[in-house]
Amino acid sequence: MTDRVLVVEDNTASLEMLRDWLLLQDYEVMTASTLVDAIASVERSKPDIVLLDVQLGADDGLSLAQWVRRHRGLRHTPIIAVTAHAMVTERDRMLQAGCNACIPKPIEFRLLQEHLRKWLVIATLMSSANGS
């Protein structure tokens, strides 16, 4: 089974770069460029993992992480913040909002792949443990 990745990114070039790289790695990719579209996509498609840009225009991308954590069927969905705001205080804010990990921009794809593998395995184990 192919893992479904939702990429939430408002910068078209970054979105396309992430989408293309994920497709080359054999992931199924969904995209959203706004908070509203991201919430709709999560509800509709239930991705296996979310790559989340923290700053979505005027919206705080962390609102999506908080929203996901409040929903019973989604709360174990891994969320990786992909952000230019990689300072320690910002990283702590992202983790407190519900992100599982943070990757700085520009993206180091080896690090991204490590996080994808790690969090997808953890999510599978959590789902199994919870009988989902």
pLDDT tens for residues 78-99? 999 998 876 777 888 999 999 9
> Domain limits of the chain?
4-127
Say yes or no: domain 4-127 is CATH 3.30.930.10.
no
Predicted pLDDT of residue 81: 95
pLDDT level of residue 126 (50, 70, 90 thresholds): confident
Cis omega (within 30 of 0) on the bond before 78?
no
Percent of the chain with pLDDT over 90: 73
Cα angle value 47/51/53 (rounded, 5°): 135
Residue 57 in this model has a pLDDT that exceeds 60: yes
Residue 65 to residue 23: CA distance in whole angstroms: 24
**Structure tokens, 95:** 């983790």
